[in-house]
Amino acid sequence: MLDHRPRRLAVERFQYNPKHWINQFDLNIYTKFDGNISKDSFNKLNCIEIQDSESNSNSDFHYMKSNINKITHIYRVTPTKTSKSIILYLPENITDFKKRYLAIQDNLDKYKLYYDQFEKLYIVSMNQEVVYVWITKININRV
């Protein structure tokens, strides 16, 4: 037995690692997968397309996307702050995207991305008749 060694609590062994993949995401913006709808029932008129660069939006917020290392990142932009990348989780049974721990880690160039005034995010497939929907919630106390 190794009783002569000092015992450490397991909590002490975990340290913040800035290079860990989860730290590239904004943990103050929560997303919840809200299912999928057909393209026919999706109304683009109430939505704004997410662009590759910052748009000249006069609204309180907008979203923008960028591709880094063949992975599409989505950001929430306000007049004073640009968030880190937003995590979009998917259930295990949806296999249309590459995922890492159920979070989308894929190039979304084959999809159109939209958001609406209620901050729902939509990913519209160009090849299939399906639209994926997420609800976003911002933790105001921590932002």
Q: Provide the 10 A C-beta neighbour count for residue 29.
A: 21
Cα angle 113-114-118, degrees, rounded to a multiple of 5: 145
Output the pLDDT for position 143: 47
Q: How many domains does the chain contain in total?
A: 1
What secondary structure letter does DSSP report for 25? Answer: B
Tell me the CA distances in angstroms from 118 to 31, 86, 101, 108, 121, one per residue in order. Answer: 13, 16, 27, 22, 9
83 lies in a domain?
A: yes
21 lies in a domain?
A: no
12 lies in a domain?
A: no
AA identity, residue 78: T
* Mean pLDDT per 10-residue segment, the chain (143 residues): 58 65 83 93 91 70 91 90 91 90 91 92 92 88 53
79 lies in a domain?
A: yes
Output the pLDDT for position 131: 95
Range of the domain at 97: 28-138
